[in-house]
Chains A and B, each alone.
Chain A
Amino acid sequence: MRLGVLPVLVPTTVLAALALTGCTEGGAGSSGSTDGGGLSGTLTVLAAASLTETFESLADEFESRHDGVTVELAFDSSATLAEQVNQGAPADVLATADERTMALVADAGNTADEPQTFATNRLVLVTPADNPAGIQDFADIDGDDVDFVVCVESAPCGALAAAVLDEQGIDRDPASEEVDVKAVLAKVELDEADAGIVYATDARAARDRVRAVEIPGSEGATTSYPIAVVGDAAEPELAEAWVDLVLSDDGQQALRDAGFGAP
C-alpha cells in the first residue's frame, strides 16, 4: 500500500515541478533583501531591447556595489514586457522605451510608484557596412529596389518609425516589421535588409557593422524612457536601489556614453 502511492506521486510531482519552473524562471530570489543595511537577493529587471548594453554594464556595477545581489535582466519589446508585467510575470523593475507602453502598466495599477523618465533616444537609419543599395540620405529608402525594415507598430520604435516615415512623406512599405529594435538591427547586420530604422544608441552599439544615416528633423521624433518599480515586486528595496542607480550621475553617464539623450 505504501509502495502503491509512489508511482502516482512521481508523475504528479514532475508535473508540479514543471509548472513551478514555468512560474519562477528568472524570478526573484527567496532570500531576504536586507540584513543590517546591506542588500542581498535577486533583482529582476525587465527592460526595452534598446537598453541591452547599458543595463548590462549597470548590472555589473550594481552587483559589485552590493555584494550578494544578483541582477537578472530580460530584454524584449516594451509592449511585450508591459504585457508580461500585467500578466503577473515576476519582475521588480520595468524600463520601457516610451511612455505609451509604461502607461499600459501604470494605468492597470501595476507600478509601485510614479514612473520617472531617465533617458531619451532618437531614430536613425542604418545600412549594412557595405551599403549595397547605395543609400546616402534618408529619402533614398524610397527607391524601388530598397528593402528596409522597421519595428512592428506596437513596439515604441515602430510607432516612432511610422510617424517619421509619415512626416518625411515616404509611402513605400517596409519589407518587414520586426518584433523589436534588436531584430531590425540584426536583419541589417546580416545584410538581409538594405536599411533599417533603429535608435541612435543601437547604431552606436553596432559600431562598424552598420553605417548610420541621420534622419532630417529627427530631433522632433524622440522617445522618452520611463522606469518604475513593479507593483508586486518581490524585492522592492533592491528595485528602488536600481532606479536610484539609473538616475544617479553614474547611471546617467553610462546612458550618455551609449548615446542616450538627457531626460
Chain B
Amino acid sequence: MTHTSGAALGRAPLRLLVPGVLGVLFLVLPMVALLLRVPWPDLGRRLLEPEVLDALRLSLVTSVAAVAVVTAVGIPLSWLLARVDFPGRTALRALVIVPLVLPPVVGGVALLSAFGRRGLVGGPLYDTFGVSLPFTTLAVVIAHAYVSLPFFVLSVEGAMRATSTELDAVAATLGASRWTTFLRVTLPLAGPGVLAGLVLSWARALGEFGATITFAGNYPGTTRTMPNAIYVALQADQDAAVVLSVILMAVSVAALALMREHWFDQAIRGGAPR
C-alpha cells in the first residue's frame, strides 16, 4: 500500500495541497519563532541557574512518579476494559477518558473538591490524620497522574483489544490460569501499546500546568514544575521563560523521537504499529 506510486494517481490537487501546507506552517511557525527568541549566548548560564535546575528536577521526578502510578493502575484498568465483559463497560470506558478532554484547570478544581482540605476525601483525611495534600509534591504527582492516566489507558486498552482473544483462549486450554495468560500472553502482545502509553502519559504529565497550579500551588522546589516556572518567568523575565520553554520543547521532541524509533522497529520486524 505504501508503495503505490503517486504518479499513477496523478498530482496532488491544489485544493488539498494549499490548506495542508498552511496547516504545516501554522504548526511549525510558532516553534521556529520560539527558537528565534532564544538568547543563545546566555543559554548555558541560564540553564544552570538554581531555579531552572530546581524546576527541571521537580518536573522529572513528579512526571516519572506519576507514570509509575499510572502504569500500576492503568494496566489492570485497561485489561478490565478490554477483556472483561460487564454491564456498563462502554459507559465506564467513556468516563475514564473524560479527564483527557477536561480543561486542565477544571481538573484542578475537581481535584481540590476531592482531595483539598475541605474536599470529599481530603476533608476526613485532614480532620482525622492532619494530612493536607495541597501545596505538597505529592499533590503535583496526583495532578499529573489524573491528567495522564486516560492517555495511558486509551493506548494500552486499544492495544489489548487489537490482539485476538483467541490467543488467550489457546493459553487457557493449555492450562494457563487467567493471571498467567495475562502475564505471558496479553501483556507482551500489548507491549507496543504500553510503551506508547508510557511516553504519551509521561509527556502529558511533563507539560501539566492548569491542574497543578490550581490544586498543588506554586512554590520553588516543592510544586513549581517547569510549566509553572515558565508562567512565573513570563511575568518577570521573558528570556528566562523562553529558555525554560525551549528545554521543555527539547525534552518533548526527544520523547517523540523515542516513540517513533520504537514504531520504526516494529515496522522493520513486521509487526503492525497498532
Q: Which residues does A use to contact B, with CB under 8 Å?
A: 4-5, 7-8, 11-12, 15, 77, 79-80, 83, 145, 147, 149, 152-155, 173-179, 187, 190-193
Q: Is the CB of B217 within 8 A of A191?
A: no
Q: Nearest 6 A-B pairs (CB), nearest first?
A: A176-B217, A154-B236, A79-B235, A175-B135, A11-B19, A154-B235
Identify the stretch in B90-98, B110-118, B158-166 within 8 Å (CB) of chain A at 4 or more residues: B110-118
Query: What is the distance, in angstroms, from B216's C-beta to the closest C-beta of chain A?
Result: 8
Residue among B217, B220, B223 facing the most chain A CB atoms (10 A cut-off): B217
- Chain B residues with CB under 8 Å of A190's CB are 112, 116, 118
Which residues of A sit under 8 angstroms from B112, Cβ to Cβ? 190, 192
Pick 16 A–B contacts, CB within 8 A, sort by A: A4-B15, A8-B14, A11-B19, A11-B22, A15-B22, A149-B217, A175-B134, A175-B135, A177-B232, A178-B218, A179-B213, A179-B231, A187-B134, A187-B217, A192-B134, A193-B135
Cβ A178 vs Cβ B217 within 8 A: yes
A77 lies within 8 A of B217 (CB): no
Nearest-CB residue, chain B, relative to A175: B135
Min CB gap A121→B, angstroms? 19
A12 touches B19 (CB 8 A): yes
Hey, which chain A residues are within 8 Å of B252, CB to CB?
none
Instruction: List B contacts of A149 (CB < 8 A).
Output: 135, 217
Docked-complex contact B15 and A192, CB < 8 angstroms:
no
Note all chain B residues with C-beta closer than 8 A to A145.
130
The answer on a CB contact under 8 Å between A176 and B232 is: no
Residue B263 is within 8 A (CB to CB) of chain A in the complex: no
How many positions in chain B have a CB within 8 Å of any CB in the partner chain?
Answer: 27
Specify which of A12, A173, A174, A178 is in contact with B18 (CB 8 Å cutoff). Answer: A12
Tell me, in angstroms, the Cα distance from A179 to B219 when the chains sit together: 11
Contact at A177–B218, with CB atoms within 8 Å? yes
Q: Which A residues touch B235, using CB under 8 A?
A: 77, 79-80, 83, 152, 154-155, 179
A147 with B132, Cβ < 8 A, contacts A8-B18, A176-B217 known? yes
Residues of B with C-beta under 8 A to A191: 116-118
Known: A12-B19, A190-B112. 12 other contacts (CB 8 A): A8-B18, A79-B236, A149-B217, A154-B232, A176-B135, A176-B217, A178-B217, A179-B232, A191-B118, A192-B116, A192-B132, A192-B135
The residue on B at minimum CB distance from A80 is: B235
Return B21 CB to nearest CB of chain A, in Å: 11
Whether B26 is near chain A, meaning CB under 8 Å from some CB there, is yes
Cα distance, A5 to B14, chains bound together (Å): 9
Shortest B100–chain A CB gap in Å is 23
Whether a CB of chain A sits under 8 angstroms from the CB of B238 is yes
Q: Which of A5, A79, A155, A177 sits near B219, CB closer than 8 Å?
A: A177
Q: Are A8 and B19 in contact (CB under 8 A)?
A: yes
- Neighbouring A residues of B116 by C-beta, 8 Å: 190-192
Chain B residue with the shortest CB-CB distance to A18: B26
Chain B nearest Cβ from A189, distance in angstroms: 10
* Chain B residue contacts of A15, Cβ below 8 A: 22, 26
A174 contact set on B, CB distance < 8 A: 219
Chain A residues in 8 Å Cβ range of B218: 152, 176-179
Which residues does chain A contribute within 8 Å of B18, judged by CB atoms?
Answer: 8, 12
- In angstroms, how far is the closest chain B Cβ from the Cβ of A202? 18
Q: Is B234 an interface residue (CB 8 A)?
A: yes
Among A15, A77, A145, A190, the most chain B Cβ lie within 10 Å of the Cβ of: A190
Residue of A nearest to B216 (CB): A176
